[in-house]
Amino acid sequence: MILGTAQSPAIAINGTMWVGGGSGANTPPFLSDPFSALSAQAQLDNTWLAWDFDSALPTVDPASNACLVFINAFASEGSDRLGLSDDYSDALVNHVASQCNNTMVVIHNAGVRLVDGFYNNVNVTAIIYAHLPGQQSGNALVELMYGRASFSGRMPYTVAKNASDYSNTLNPTRADATSNYFTQSNFTEGVYIDYRGFQKAGITPRFAFGFGLTYSNFTYSSLSASITAGAADLTAMPAPAKIISGGNPNLFETLAVVSATVTNTGPVAAQEVAQLYLGIPNAPAMQLRGFVKESLSPGQGAIVSFALNRRDLSVWDTVRQQWVLQGGSYGVFVGKSVEDVQLRETLHVAVTGANGTTA
């Protein structure tokens, strides 16, 4: 096992990274680190574990069946990360992979970490985004890597092939001489950030928003999308009401329901995360509006259902300063990620009254 570390602002000091810095840090009652957990497992199954915690160019025993390289991307409150990858860690992965045809990379990362520095290396067989796993870091990793549990996490952001693919979101407006605290930013990207920006620009990511692999396979079928509200409820804007936390309570009335069947067609029990995206008129092509995680045994199926409220179907009107429901055709997409849609349908919304358009 190799741990990649260096005295660099982008990388945590040698050890295991289970939390971020600043107010995101904590001191747990105990810590299961990956090395200790893997050592305990090796003792149980009578396997051999070698390690190097110091070398930038470690030598791998040619008898090794598998190699694990641990790298990280550190972040802390009060300072920005200097980049989305680092040359030291990428070089470490490639050096180990040059000696080991089954090299698995485990990343402890606070936010996006690019992997194209080693992704196309044929000897890199797995990349695990472990993020900030907390006190059970090592135990959880062993359960997953030895197949006693199945991976079920999904990417909460898009991993690009190049940092430039994120466009101007990596160049925030900073304080200037006019004001140290209230510098004007026009947010010219609008709502087109992360996967919405990638789709608008036609950029193919390395790992899409919502992506994640597991040890089984799943099929999707029987998509249904229907309006459940009466015609009187489909006005452009919600009926006035006393404002509560979150806004007008009528924004949260259910107007439509989407359902589909997910079936485990693979060899082992696992969890699938079915995701619902909507294509709202005059808005980004796809926007996440719900997800359901189901634990399914081989051959087992389940119906996943998504209730869509008024706000889910609305867009913010800057002139009216209101969430506004539009008439028209709404694309309905259910699948495994924003780039892996399994089922498609169209939801037709006919809006009446209150300056709404009928469609």
HEC states along the chain?
A: CEECCCCCCCCCCCCCCCCCCHHHCCCCCCCCCHHHHHHHHHHHHCCCCCCECCCCCCCCCCCCCCEEEEEEECCCCCCCCCCCCCHHHHHHHHHHHCCCCCEEEEEEECCCCCCCCCCCCCCEEEEEECCCCHHHHHHHHHHHHCCCCCCCCCCCCCECCCHHHHHHHHCCCCCECCECCCCCCCCCCCCCCCHHHHHHHCCCCCECCCCCCCCCCEEEEEEEEEECCCHHHCCCCCCCCCCECCECHHHHCEEEEEEEEEEECCCCCEEEEEEEEEECCCCCCCEEEEEEEEEECCCCEEEEEEEEEHHHHEEEECCCCEEEECCEEEEEEEEEECCEEEEEEEEEECCCCCCCCCC
Q: What is the pLDDT of residue 78?
A: 74
Q: What is the pLDDT of residue 271?
A: 98
Residue 322 forms beta bridges with which residues?
317
- Extract the tokens encoding 166: 């994120």
In the chain, what percentage of residues exceed pLDDT 90? 77
Residues 316, 318, 324, 330, Cα dihedral to 10°: -50
Please check the confidence at residue 7 and state whether its pLDDT lies above 50: no
Return the top range by mean pLDDT from 61-65, 167-171, 220-224.
Answer: 220-224
Domain boundaries, given as residue ranges, for the chain: 2-145, 214-349
Please check the confidence at residue 5 and state whether its pLDDT lies above 50: no
Q: What is the pLDDT of residue 30?
A: 94
Contact 280, 310 (CB under 8 A): no
Contact 173, 185 (CB under 8 A): yes
Q: What is the pLDDT of residue 176?
A: 72
Least confident of 18-22, 76-80, 251-255, 320-324: 76-80
Please check the confidence at residue 356 and state whether its pLDDT lies above 70: no
CA distances from 357 to 183, 229, 236 (A): 39, 17, 8
Residue with tokens 């904590």: 26
Mean pLDDT, residues 298-312: 97
In the chain, what percentage of residues exceed pLDDT 70? 93
Q: Which pairing describes strands 103-109 and 67-73: parallel, antiparallel, or unpaired? A: parallel
Q: What is the pLDDT of residue 290?
A: 98
Q: Under CATH, domain 214-349 is a member of which superfamily?
A: Immunoglobulins (2.60.40.10)
Q: What is the pLDDT of residue 6?
A: 40
Topology agreement, domain 2-145 and domain 214-349: no
Q: What is the pLDDT of residue 13?
A: 64
Please check the confidence at residue 355 and state whether its pLDDT lies above 80: no
Q: Mean pLDDT over all residues of the chain?
A: 91
Please check the confidence at residue 171 and state whether its pLDDT lies above 90: no
How far apart CA 107 and CA 95 sit, in angstroms, is 17
Of 276, 274, 269, the residue nearest 295 (C-alpha): 269
Q: What is the pLDDT of residue 180?
A: 66
Q: What is the pLDDT of residue 354?
A: 53
What CATH number is given for 2-145 in this structure?
3.40.50.1700
Contact 289, 276 (CB under 8 A): yes
Q: What is the pLDDT of residue 188?
A: 87
Tens digits of residue pLDDT in 101-152: 999 999 999 899 999 999 999 999 999 999 999 999 999 999 999 999 999 9
pTM of the model: 0.91
Q: What is the pLDDT of residue 357?
A: 43
- Extract the tokens encoding 337: 């990620």
Q: What is the pLDDT of residue 8?
A: 41
How far apart CA 19 and CA 31 sit, in angstroms, is 11
Of 114, 269, 292, the residue nearest 205 (C-alpha): 114
Please check the confidence at residue 167 and state whether its pLDDT lies above 90: no
How far apart CA 200 and CA 198 sit, in angstroms, is 6
Q: Which pairing describes strands 2-3 and 67-73: parallel, antiparallel, or unpaired? A: parallel
Tens digits of residue pLDDT in 268-295: 999 999 999 999 999 999 999 999 999 9
Residue 4: band (very low, low, confident or very high) from pLDDT cuts 50, 70, 90? very low
CA distances from 311 to 195, 247, 249, 274, 349 (A): 20, 10, 10, 21, 14
Please check the confidence at residue 359 and state whether its pLDDT lies above 60: no
